[in-house]
Structure 1
Amino acid sequence: MHLVPADRANHRTIDGHRVCEAIAAIGDAEHVQAWAERFSLLADPGRLSLLLALHETGPLAVSDLAVATGMKDPAVSQALRLLRAGGLVTGDRDGRIVRYRLIDPAVAEVLAHGVLGYRE
């Protein structure tokens, strides 16, 4: 059990080799924290709706996203601010219009799997 941290080395295990595999699969704490933050952004139905819309259609403006999701413009803007800060979306300015698009490929893959599973 070479991967077990010293503070857990004396704990009883049933399948020690699997414990080491599990520790390797979990990886470092920073990686787990980053994914937990991504998933927390997906946990809100409004933000998830925005991401699904952007994933399926490509770039959309705030007002279009509001109509598509049934949210108010200020709520869409607030959600997009959080998604932008989390590195999931970006906005591209075209004059006075800003169109948002999904830029996180890992989240796009999660959304693709979720959408396929939901529709089947």
Structure 2
Amino acid sequence: MHLVPEDRAHRRAIDEHTVCEAIAAIGDPETVRGWASRFSMLAEPNRLSVLLAIHRAGPIAVTDLALATGVNEPAVSQILRLLRVSNTVVAEKDGRVVRYRLIDHDTATLLDSLPPLHQAV
């Protein structure tokens, strides 16, 4: 079991080959933490709504995000601050207006995999 870390090498495996495949599939712990962080960003409905609006509507201002998502402007601003700190979105000035754009390719790929969510109008 060449991939089993030394601290677990004393434990018994049922299928050593499968254990090594599973360890290889998990990969680097830092990468796993990064993906867990991305998934936690998507786990809160208001953050997910803001991310979907930014991703699918293009660069968009806070006021327009609040209107589109139904989330109040201070809450949208708080969400955007979190998304900026995590390097998920970037703020770009357009005259006096600041618009937000999704820059994290992996998050964009995850959002692309979601089917369109239709809402009754």
Q: TM-score, normalised by structure 1?
A: 0.92
Matches within 5 A, 1:40-59: 40-59=40-59
What value does the CA root-mean-square deviation take over the aligned residues?
A: 1.3
Equivalent position of 2:16 in the other structure: 16
Structure 2 gaps, min length 5: none
Q: Name the structure where helix makes up a greater proportion of residues.
A: 1
Give the residue type in structure 1 aligned to 2:103. I
DSSP 3-state at the match of 1:114: coil
Equivalent position of 1:83 in the other structure: 83
Please state how far the C-alpha of 1:92 moved relative to its aligned partner: 0.6
Say if 2:6 is the partner of 1:6.
yes
Matches within 5 A, 1:102-113: 102-113=102-113
Matched residue count: 118
CA distance in 1, matches of 2:95, 2:110: 32
Please state how far the C-alpha of 1:21 moved relative to its aligned partner: 1.1
Say if 2:36 is the partner of 1:67.
no
Q: Give percent identity, aligned residues only.
A: 61
Please state how far the C-alpha of 1:11 moved relative to its aligned partner: 1.2
Give the residue type in structure 2 aligned to 1:61. A
Please state how far the C-alpha of 1:43 moved relative to its aligned partner: 1.0
Large movers: runs of 4+ above 3 Å? none
Structure 1 gaps, min length 5: none
Q: TM-score, normalised by structure 2?
A: 0.92
Please state how far the C-alpha of 1:115 moved relative to its aligned partner: 2.6
CA distance in 1, matches of 2:113, 2:87: 20
Equivalent position of 1:114 in the other structure: 114
